[in-house]
Structure 1
Amino acid sequence: MTPSFFGYGSLVNLATHNYPNVRKATLTGWRRVWCHANTRPVAFLSVHRAMGAIDGIIADVPDADWTALDLREHAYLRQDVSDVLGGTTAIYQANPAKISPPSAGHPILLSYLDVVVQGFRTQYGEDGVAAFFESTDGWGPIRNDRSDPYYPRFQNVAAVDRALVDHHLAQLSAQVK
């Protein structure tokens, strides 16, 4: 059986990768969290064990070789979630001992969030976008880099996706600078 992984952030946006056999999935017992580590200049998404569930995608590990995927996800630890999702399935989690909440010096990038929301709207619709915001902890300062995207897997996103991001950030009273 080919091993697979669960993607819960930018990997939900299929334009950011070409992994095979992608399918929607829900992982129970976990929540998303924004965090930062000293190895990165900006905040990024991770997960932590908690009550609840998160939507995402499962995809096969190309050629059943974890090497390339581990390189893409170099800031994360691979965790086994086969007991919840079946097969041989992993999720990537930032090392809890090496992360902190987002801060003014390590903000969430709006270009990253736009890509994530574009993926959730495409895969799960507007209700899926709302569920993403509801199942994500650690909202902190957000840097508006839309005019000059810093996120390396930036995508051109539709106005509807930007509007959804802006709407949900307003509901959170998130600080966008």
Structure 2
Amino acid sequence: MIQIKGQNITSFSDAYFFGYGSLVNRATHVFAEAHPAQLRGWRRVWRHTEMRPVAFLTALPDPESTIDGLIAAVPGADWPALDLREAAYARVPAHDQVTHPLPHRPEIAVYSIPEGRHGTPSTAHPILLSYIDVVVQGYLREFGPEGVARFFDTTHGWDAPVLDDRARPRYPRHQTLSAAERVLSDEHLARLDVRVIRDMA
């Protein structure tokens, strides 16, 4: 039994992973125990692999970068099950690089596509606008407008094309956005001069 600020805590989860994309939007998952956090020494990059038809986010080592995200407890500390879900990625220990509000020091990992297993997005493998919208909505709720700006500024690969699929979202965990949230995504894409292409499907 552990007591913190007058509360008796029977146990802590000792296994967490750091999410830096869609996981930040709590509407996309059922990880109830999730907390805002920062990861030092990594940056986000838009990439694609042969395992998926469209681009998605990965994290790459960068000693000059710090990114916002959420840490979430691994259900039952079952790393193999989570590894299966994140099959395109490798699990990398990161507990010494994460700043978080937890009163203990759990094991924390970040999922990253191994070097040599990913390529640059292209018209054939674009970034989905419905995916960006989900991530923006999550960062807005967790970190406010400044957090959304930091997401765009600490993510590399915006020279890749973005497919406007809002009319028929292809991202499987797409969410309904308010008009203000859509405008926020659009304003940052315009600020970075990102090329947006129409979905002709």
Q: Judge same fold: TM > 0.5, yes or no.
A: yes
Which residue of 52, 57, 81 maps to 1:45? 57
Contact map agreement 1:20 1:62 (CA 8 A) in 2? no
Contact map agreement 1:12 1:123 (CA 8 A) in 2? yes
Q: CA deviation at 1:87?
A: 2.1
More off after superposition, 135-144 vs 84-93: 84-93
Using the aligned pairs only, state the percent identity. 51
Q: Which runs of 4+ in 1 moved over 2 A?
A: none
Which residue of 169, 186, 192 maps to 1:149? 169
> How far does the alpha carbon of each residue in 1:1-52 deviate from its partner, in whole angstroms, 9 at most, with x for none?
5200000000000001011321100011110000001111000000111111
In 1, distance between residues paired with 2:184 and 2:93? 32
Which residue of 99, 114, 121 maps to 1:102? 121
SS in 2 for 1:24: strand
Q: Which residue of 2 is the match for residue 78 of structure 1?
A: 91
In 1, distance between residues paired with 2:46 and 2:87? 17
Aligned residues: 177
Q: Which has the larger radius of gyration?
A: 2
> How far does the alpha carbon of each residue in 1:91-129 deviate from its partner, in whole angstroms, 9 at most, with x for none?
010122111111111000000000000000000000000
Tell me the C-alpha RMSD between the 2 structures.
1.0
In 2, distance between residues paired with 1:158 and 1:67? 37
SS in 2 for 1:97: coil
Relative to the length of structure 1, the TM-score reads: 0.97
Q: Which residue of 2 is the match for residue 33 of structure 1?
A: 45
In 2, distance between residues paired with 1:14 and 1:77? 23
Within the alignment, does 1:8 sit opposite 2:28 as a pair? no
SS in 2 for 1:98: coil
In 2, distance between residues paired with 1:93 and 1:172? 25
Contact map agreement 1:77 1:94 (CA 8 A) in 2? yes
SS in 1 for 2:48: strand
Within the alignment, does 1:128 sit opposite 2:141 as a pair? no
- The letter for the 2-side match of 1:21 is E
Q: CA deviation at 1:69?
A: 2.0
Q: CA deviation at 1:54?
A: 0.2
Structure with bigger helix share is: 1
Within the alignment, does 1:163 sit opposite 2:176 as a pair? no
In 2, distance between residues paired with 1:166 and 1:144? 11
Q: Which residue of 1 is the match for residue 156 of structure 2?
A: 137
Relative to the length of structure 2, the TM-score reads: 0.85
In 2, distance between residues paired with 1:67 and 1:161? 36
Listed as ranges, the gaps of 5+ residues in structure 1 are none
